[in-house]
Amino acid sequence: MNQAHSGDTVALELDQVFELSKSVLIAAGLSEAQATPVARVITEGQRDECHSHGLFRLPGCVQTINHPRFNRAAAPVVENTTAAVTKVDAGFGFSLPAFEAALPTFVEKAKSIGVAVLAINHCFHFSALWPEIEMLTAQGLVAIAMTPSHSWVAPAGGTKGALGTNPIAFGWPREGQNPYVFDFATSAIARGDISLHKMAGKPLQPGWAIDADGNPTTDAAAALNGAMLTFGGHKGSALSTMIELLAGPLIADMTSLESMDFDDGVKAAPAHGEILMAFDPKILGGTRDNQASSERLFSAISDQGARLPSLRRYEARARSLAHGVRIPRHLYEQIMSLPRAG
C-alpha cells in the first residue's frame, strides 16, 4: 500500500481506506459479503471527517468479531411482514449487511403506500446512522433511524448507567443538492468522542459525564469508568427513553441494559435492534410542492448565518474526494499491526 507520511499523520486515498478496512475485516473472519458494507461505512465516516466513526472503529470491529456471541457466518434473513413492515434478522452479525439486504423491499414499500417501517433484529451495531439515512434520501424518501446501545448513560437526576447513547437520525431529500440530515446521540457526546478525548489527553466539557461515584467530571478516563449524561437534561433523557422503547421492546429486541448484559464484559459493540421509518413525500404531500416550502425554511435558516446540519460533513467530503484523508500515525500503525487478508 502506498501512503504518504508527514509528522504524526499518514495520508491515504479513499480506496486505500476501503481496501484496508475490508482486508482487516476478512482476516478477522468476515465473508466478503459481510465485510464490504462494513468497510464502506467506515470509509464514509473517514471521508466525512467523522473521526470517531471512521478507521478509529476498525480495531473495535475486530474485537466485536471475536466476541463469542458474534456470528461470523451470519446471513441476513428478510421477512416480508406486512404491506408496510419489513423485518430482517441479522443473525448476530453486523447491522449493515442486514440493512442492505432489506433495503430494496423497504424502499419499494415506502414508495408503494407512502410509509414503511424496517426492523433490524439481533445485530451488532457500531456505525453512524447517517450513511443509512443518505441511502434512503437518495431514493427520494424522508427517513428516520434510531437504535439503542450499551447502558453507558445515566438518566437525568441519576448517577448510574441505564440508557444508551441512543442516536437518532433524520433525512430530507433536496433536489439537486445534498440532503438535509442530522444524526446525533442523545447523550451529551458520542462514546467514541470521549475515547478520542482520552487518547488526545483533552478534558471533556462540564456536563458531559460523571465519574464512578456519581460526581461531575471532565476527565475522559473517569467518564469511561463512570457514566455519560444526556443532552438537555430531562428532555434528552425522555427522548433517549423513547428510543430505547421504539428500537427495543417494540421490535422485540434488547434495551441498552440488556445489551450490556449480553456483552458480558467483552466490551464489544452493542448488540440489539434498530428501527427505521421511511416516508414518500410524493404520496404524503399530494399535489403540494413540498420542495418549495422546505427550501424556503432552509433558506430562512442559512440566510441569517446559521449552519444547517451536515454542512461540515459535506465540506469535508469534498476535501476528501479531492485530496484523500489523513489519520493519526498511531492509529495507522495500530491498524497495520492487525492481520490482513491477501
Which helix H or strand E contains 273, and what residues bound it? strand 271-279
Annotated catalytic residue: which of 31, 52, 195, 219? 52
Contacts 24+ apart (CB under 8 A), 315-318: 316/47, 316/48, 316/49, 317/47, 317/48
Annotated catalytic residue: which of 193, 211, 253, 263? 193
* Runs of H (alpha helix) within the chain: 14-27, 32-47, 58-65, 95-113, 130-137, 191-200, 220-225, 234-246, 256-263, 281-284, 290-302, 311-323, 329-336
Q: Is there a catalytic annotation at residue 272?
A: no
Read off the C-alpha cell for 316.
469535508
Q: Which of 65, 126, 68 is nearest to 96 (CA)?
A: 126
Q: Is there a catalytic annotation at residue 53?
A: yes
* Dihedral of alpha carbons 36, 41, 47, 50, sign: negative
Contact predicate 151/158, CB 8 Å: no
Residue 264 neighbours by CB distance under 10 Å: 11
Q: What share of the chain is helix, strand, coil (3-state, %, to 5)?
A: 45, 20, 35
* Amino acid (1-letter code) at residue 7: G
Read off the C-alpha cell for 121.
433484529
Annotated catalytic residue: which of 51, 53, 67, 125? 53
Read off the C-alpha cell for 339.
492481520
As to burial, measured by CB atoms within 10 angstroms (0-12 exposed, 13-18 middle, 19+ buried), residue 317 is middle
Read off the C-alpha cell for 309.
446540519
Q: Are strands 209-210 and 216-217 parallel, antiparallel or unpaired?
A: antiparallel
Contact predicate 244/272, CB 8 Å: no
What is the maximum alpha-carbon separation in the chain? 58
List residues with catalytic annotation.
52-53, 193
